[in-house]
Structure 1
């Protein structure tokens, strides 16, 4: 029984298939998707279709990302958030051409069922962006933080990497969970094509929305699996590189 966490996808179905083929998944495995399935490349609706079918065969957990919230609002109310439109929303809307009303309703229901975080039986937290409460995600006052917060990631980047976990200065948020897995902020922002790990936190968004790859990580062994760079797979598109 293996568990893999899979980083931000952003409409890159071709890259997702590359990663999954490397994993050689069986029915005993669990896939935890870190959110942001849509917005960027041209196959957002197709990604959702594929994930819905995959979940019928494999145990999957789909964390909700901020781009998924925007797409859900559009499918539900026709709301076109201005920021969403400029950051991949237009490409997502285009990808739904040819999808029937019933298919769109099924996709909406898929988004609505997504949890904002997941904690496994080894006290590992999987969340799209972060959290702020010193008491953990279950005591967070504003759930919107879960798919937008960058303070957790920025805090760990600024920390003294030699700080001992027993130090009174070690952040309480990091002490709450055995490990924390996030996406949301591309590691390529720091010229790093691989997941970044500091202390017990792993960031596995490796820039698929832009010029990077989709990444999967075995959460036990930390083996890493990656697609090719997304612009190579979609040579006639810009993704979010506008």
Structure 2
């Protein structure tokens, strides 16, 4: 049966990506939705992008753009590295791209440019890297950077009273728009949790692959999930973003 699988933030952990896709027994019948932040953290960022490009040629893949991806896209476009990006995990990514030809870099740039800022499926589920603030949804968002950076959506649902039902006037309007919302960006490790988190109708799939956590794949329909080993154990001689 065809599945829709959502994948959390990879952060250059190609070994973890390959491992978790194998554990989920992914086939070409599955639709894969990636929530962004493919790079920055572990040493295989450029290789991760190349792997995803090749994967998308074999099956349906939807790529959401994360904040780290914006930084890398800018670098590939202008050839100059942002200092903030280098400090926040971009240094290893920058080094990796020094090994690629101009033609390969251009191909990767085109890949970043084609990424979606958000995606809504046929079941009215929203997939976005970080969040949004507009009560009319991300299409009405004034600050487009919120797609990549916002954490207020997640912080709000964590503190909501679960007794407030969707038909209530107290239920936030920006949550009513969608059936379910899937995000990354804020590692569940911040809450000492290594598995996907659900609050109200929002699912957080970033289980800390950039740090000492795992990379997660979740079945949107069944909520079954698979995880890689702790990514730092797959790269024992590296620090990731720690």
Q: TM-score, normalised by structure 2?
A: 0.98
Deviation per residue, 1:78-131 (Å, 9 max, x gap): 232222111111010111232111000000000000010000010000000001
- Matched residues in 2 for 1:105 and 1:78: separation? 11
Secondary structure of residue in 1 paired with 2:16? helix
- Matched residues in 2 for 1:15 and 1:149: separation? 26
- Corresponding residue for residue 76 of structure 1: 77
* 1:16-35 aligned within 5 A: 16-35=17-36
Query: What is the CA distance between 1:140 and its match in structure 2?
Result: 1.3
- Matched residues in 1 for 2:86 and 2:127: separation? 27
- Matched residues in 2 for 1:49 and 1:141: separation? 33
* Runs of 4+ deviating beyond 6 Å: none
Deviation per residue, 1:52-102 (Å, 9 max, x gap): 000000100000000000000001102322221111110101112321110
- Corresponding residue for residue 238 of structure 1: 239
- Corresponding residue for residue 196 of structure 2: 195
- Matched residues in 1 for 2:70 and 2:208: separation? 19
- Runs of at least 5 residues in structure 1 that lack an aligned partner in the other structure: none
- Matched residues in 1 for 2:195 and 2:174: separation? 24
Secondary structure of residue in 2 paired with 1:143? coil
Query: What is the CA distance between 1:27 and its match in structure 2?
Result: 2.1
* 1:122-161 aligned within 5 A: 122-161=123-162
Query: What is the CA distance between 1:40 and its match in structure 2?
Result: 0.2
The question of whether the paired residues in 1 share the 8 Å contact of 2:182 and 2:202 is answered with yes
- Corresponding residue for residue 109 of structure 1: 110
Deviation per residue, 1:195-228 (Å, 9 max, x gap): 1001111000000111101101000000011000
Query: What is the CA distance between 1:28 and its match in structure 2?
Result: 1.7
The question of whether the paired residues in 1 share the 8 Å contact of 2:196 and 2:206 is answered with yes
The question of whether the paired residues in 1 share the 8 Å contact of 2:4 and 2:31 is answered with yes
- Matched residues in 2 for 1:95 and 1:42: separation? 7
User: Does 2:180 align with 1:182?
Assistant: no
Q: RMSD between aligned alpha carbons?
A: 0.8
User: Number of matched residues?
Assistant: 241
Secondary structure of residue in 2 paired with 1:197? strand
Query: What is the CA distance between 1:164 and its match in structure 2?
Result: 2.0
- Corresponding residue for residue 49 of structure 1: 50
The question of whether the paired residues in 1 share the 8 Å contact of 2:81 and 2:94 is answered with no
- Matched residues in 2 for 1:137 and 1:47: separation? 28
Query: What is the CA distance between 1:165 and its match in structure 2?
Result: 2.0
Deviation per residue, 1:159-194 (Å, 9 max, x gap): 112222222111111100000000000000000000
Secondary structure of residue in 1 paired with 2:145? helix
- Matched residues in 1 for 2:177 and 2:49: separation? 32
User: Does 2:77 align with 1:64?
Assistant: no
